[in-house]
Each structure stands twice: as structure tokens, then as C-alpha cells.
Amino acid sequence: MHIQLTASDGHRLSAYTAGPADAKRGLVVVQEIFGVNHHMRTVCDRLAAEGYAVVCPALFDRVEREVELGYQPADVQRGRDLRAKVPEAGTLADVEAAAAALPAGAARGIIGYCWGGSVAWWGATRSHSFRAAVGWYGGGIAGTRTEVPNCPVQLHFGDKDASIPMADVELIRAAQPGVEVFVYPGAQHGFGCDERGTYSAPDAALAQRRSLGFLATHLG
């Protein structure tokens, strides 16, 4: 189901929501650079099937509404262009609006993929709304690795990711010894997306088990 959110700066945006309205645990799910597309809705539905209330805000609404991209090279470029136009402060405001839309009293977490992996990290370091944060292959984390998280964080990377060198992952590990960092040998960027050529079913399944276990531990 799609709902409308209002951020603290008055911006109105859409969001996809799933899961029980009375859930004890809630998740903000943060999109890749391809919008709240079929894959992201599937991710939300899978998390909802685990008992979570889920809200996935349409972060591109600040520059263009109803964006749903595929995974061809032209889509990648368009997604990058759109992302570059979205201010970080606006992104965080939209994430906070999504958190506020989760059921009252629910323990809140945040999980993101690709661009959303970086946004999930910022949700941990720049917000106090979450009790746990999980990021899958977030390319912007290394550049903000010295920020201090306000909640437990778990991160996932593929060691063959063409856009996130292992040197960056080691910098993150060095800067954040308290953060769980998992590296998947042979996995590429987007290894968790079953609509991409880089999908790796075994690695995606393992990362999902680790993510769900981490969230269950910290969200109760």
C-alpha cells in the first residue's frame, strides 16, 4: 500500500508500506538509486512477512515523483543523476518522516541497500530515531566513516564490488571497531537484488539471515 508522508520541512512524499499495523517492531527500508521499484517493494514484503511493519519512503520525490527504474546502464546513470540532486538533509528528513509513520510504540530499525545503505548509516549517526541500523553495500559510508553511530550497526559488502574497493571497507573497519562488518567473497555490488545480473543467491540468503538476526537482537 502507498501512503503520503510529510517531512519536517513541509515536503510531501509517497512511501510504500507493508506489514501488521500493530507490529512491535518497525523498519524504515531505504531504496537503491532505482526508486521504490518492484524489487524494493518485494524487499518490503519479505520483511513484512517476518512480522515487521515497514515504510519505504520515495526519496526521489524531492526531484521527480513516481520514479521506478530498472537495472540497465541507462537506468544506472539516471539513478545517479537523480541521487545527485537530492540533498542529504532532505533525505534524512524523509527518513525521519518514515520512522514517524511506523506503529506507535514499535521498536524502530532502519535497513538500506546501495544508496540506501549509506542513508541507513546516516540514520544511525545523524538521527536518534533507531535502535538498530543495517546497510548493504553502501558506497557513501567510507566517506563518513568517522561519524559516531547512536545505535548498533551491521554492514554488508561484496569483495568484488566495482564501486566499493576493499580498501574502503578496511577504512570503515578501522574507524568503527564496534560495527559488525561482513564481506562476501566473490560477491559484487547489488548481490542482494534478484533482478540484477550481479545477484548471488547464497550470499543474499546469508546476509538476510544475519540482518534478521541482528535486528531481532536489538529490536526485541
Rounded CA-CA distance 175/168 in Å is 11
DSSP letters spanning 121-177:
HHHHHS-SS-SEEEEES-TTTGGGTTSPPSS-EEEEEETT-TTS-HHHHHHHHHH-T
Catalytic residue positions?
114, 161, 189
Angle between helices 115-125 and 88-100 (to 10 degrees): 70
Q: In what order do the strands lie in the sheet with 132-136?
A: 2-6, 12-18, 53-57, 25-30, 107-113, 132-136, 153-158, 180-184
What SS3 state is found at 33? coil
Which cell goes with 95? 527518513
User: Which of 52, 60, 182, 30 has its CA nearest to residue 120?
Assistant: 30
Which cell goes with 177? 571497531
